[in-house]
Structure 1
Amino acid sequence: MELRQLKYFIAVAEELHFGRAAERCHIAQPPLSQQIKRLEEELGVTLLERTSRRVSLTPEGREFLRRCKDLEDRLKEAVICVKDMAKGLEGQLSVGFIGPASLSRLPRAIRTFRERNPNIRLDFSAQATKEQLPLLRGDRLDIAFVRLFGHDTSGFNSMLFLREPYALAVPEGHHFADRDDLTLKDLDGEPLVFFQPMNQPALYRSLIGSFHKAGFMPNIVQEANTEQSIVALVATGLGCALVPSSSATACRGGVVFKAISGDLPQWEITALWKKKNETALLKKFLDVIAEYSWVE
């Protein structure tokens, strides 16, 4: 069965006249009649009753016409859909992000994109960088917002979305809370809450190295797997913590965020995607992301 046979059948069934149907389909009448006959033979069903004076639909023909029309409508929708996808007007994107990105400008960027593109579906996945990279390589994510410190990014395109310094989160009432001239050296002997090394081993080593350069070993009393957990532990009075400056936007009670100077790496979030997956839709998404990128 061929799509053109269904097109011919719809024309005959609606016109109930082979001559008019042939004109409508821009085909001679004999080939049109042959195609309808071949269709009936393939189905093993009589769709049209023919006499010298009239053409009419059998009950099977009426049902087949209804389903063919439905198929025709779906095909038209499919054509419109794929054309809109090619223009970036339809479709969906799978977006991965690390937890701290939710405290950055990323939520505002996504909201702007959704407002401008209401027909685009966005699927989100919050995971650590090491978990996102295999998903990105396996085409299970279209774009990922990650920390690239020490990770292999070969084969990816990238855009720096955020670069900012670290801040020091301290419990309310702490002796650092009223100081504005804090340096890394001031943390010598202070109880610290740190992230778990397994999540970002290269970054962990770099930060520990920063303490070594300042002349001391950090007094790490607790480790946690997310920045949100780290800040929550600071609020309990357990200790201080180095966190991205944007963490201050969380407005968690019981915590004060202070600027701190010293030989510390910058805190960055980078957008990663595969070049071959750079569709019109992804490009539109990247254009909005670029509007909200922030590099200090």
Structure 2
Amino acid sequence: MINFRLLKHLYLFSVVAQERHFRRAAARLGMSQPPLTEQIQVLEAALRVKLFERSSKGVQLTPEGTAILPAVQKLVLHMERLEVAVQEAISGKGRVVTIGAITSAMASLLPTLIAQVKVAMPDVKLAVIEIDSAEALTALGDGTIDIAFARMEGETGAAISTRPLLTEQLGVALPPWHALARQPVVSMRDLADEEFIMFPRRVSPSFFDGIVSACHSHGFTPRILHETRSVASQIALVGCSQGVALVPLGLQNIGGDTVVVRPLREEVSLVTIAVAWSNRVPDPMIEQIVGIATSTDVKSVAL
């Protein structure tokens, strides 16, 4: 069992791991190098592992140090959130609720949701981080986020509650010079010879399978040139003339002058956004935010 008096030492370890240099880490921490080195040695002794290999050029993580770093970084994140929550409480401000959201949810649902939460719950402070759908359940489970807005895949388990919010119609993102960009609507068959920019299947199986299925139903298999982890990256690569992408039609303005999004002649509605949260411990504040998210006003604006 870890001695929780070593929490400070774990934080110091995370900083040295980031800097890969004791002197730079000490300067960042506002301390001299010898005490930092000593405290890392104390941590190594307590954990009974060597965390760093030292040389004149700096330090490198040992295999053991590499193995524990992700868990330590999560712990440091929770410590920082706790510190913010304590300071907010001392200053009389309300709780910080962390929302994890995929790009399309940020562009469609969140602006209206945040505006309504500020009116209904003025003491609540919302922090938003970008996630992909594959990360949502893990982030909810380990407490990195309080609420997720993502495409939920398959069974979420008894500890996670979900409610569907919307299914978005897809359009095709094209470089403005593309011949299809001059058409008011684009047929799926017109995309048969195009090079596609898509999510990897592991990021969102239903999204990937839905697009492939839609292409198959119109007589072709998409030629996937690039894979990205977010809609924003898809659109950015379209703007770099690297291919075309099927994206939520509501994002037609996200690419500025470098991308044109045209509606499809056929109805392809694949992107379902759900709200998800942990139900292990009942939380009236989270339930109230979920209630706002599932209200008619929010959904109608998002669509």
Change (3 A) 1:140 1:233: closer
> Distance in 2 between the 1:249 and 1:241 partners?
15
Q: 2 CA distance for matches of 1:135 and 1:193?
A: 26
Q: Which runs of 4+ in 1 moved over 4 A?
A: none
Residue 140 of structure 2: which of 108, 116, 136 is its match? 136
So what's the TM-score if we normalise by structure 2?
0.62
Match of 1:64 in 2: none
**Using the alignment, how far apart are the partners of 1:263 and 1:188 within structure 2?**
17
Q: CA deviation at 1:270?
A: 0.5
Give how far 1:182 is off: 1.9
- 2-structure distance, mates of 1:162, 1:181: 23
User: Counterpart in 2 of 1:275?
Assistant: 279
1:153 aligns with 2:156: yes
Shift, 1:220, TM fit: 2.1
**Equivalent residue letter for 1:292:** V
Number of the residue aligned with 1:7: none
Gaps (5+ residues) in structure 1?
1-77, 82-88
What's the CA shift for 1:265?
4.2
Partner of residue 221, structure 1: 225
The answer for the alignment partner of 2:291 in structure 1 is: 287
Q: Distance in 2 between matches of 1:164 and 1:265?
A: 6
Work out the CA distance in 1 between the residues paired with 2:172 and 2:234: 11
Cα displacement (A) at 1:281: 1.2
Q: Aligned partners of 1:138, 1:229: CA distance in 2, in Å?
A: 27
2:201 to 186, 197, 201: 197
Offset at residue 229 of structure 1 (A) = 1.1
Once the two structures are TM-superposed, the CA of residue 207 in structure 1 deviates from its matched residue by 1.6
Matched residue pairs, number?
210
Could you tell me how far apart the structure 2 residues matched to 1:173 and 1:246 are? 21
Partner residue of 2:168 out of 164, 170, 177: 164
User: Which consecutive unaligned segments of at least 5 residues does structure 2 have?
Assistant: 1-85
Greater RCO, CA 8 A, separation 6+: 1
Aligned match for 1:105, one of 106, 109, 112: 109
- Residue by residue over 1:102-153, the C-alpha shift from the partner in whole angstroms, topping out at 9 and shown as x without a partner, is 21131231133124433213233321122120221334432111102x3322
Aligned-pair CA distance for 1:285: 1.3
Distance in 2 separating the partners of 1:228 and 1:181: 22
* Kept after mapping to 1: 8 A contact 2:100/2:130: yes
Residue 171 of structure 1 deviates from its aligned partner by 0.9
Alignment match, 2:235? 231
Is contact 2:132-2:229 (8 Å) kept? no
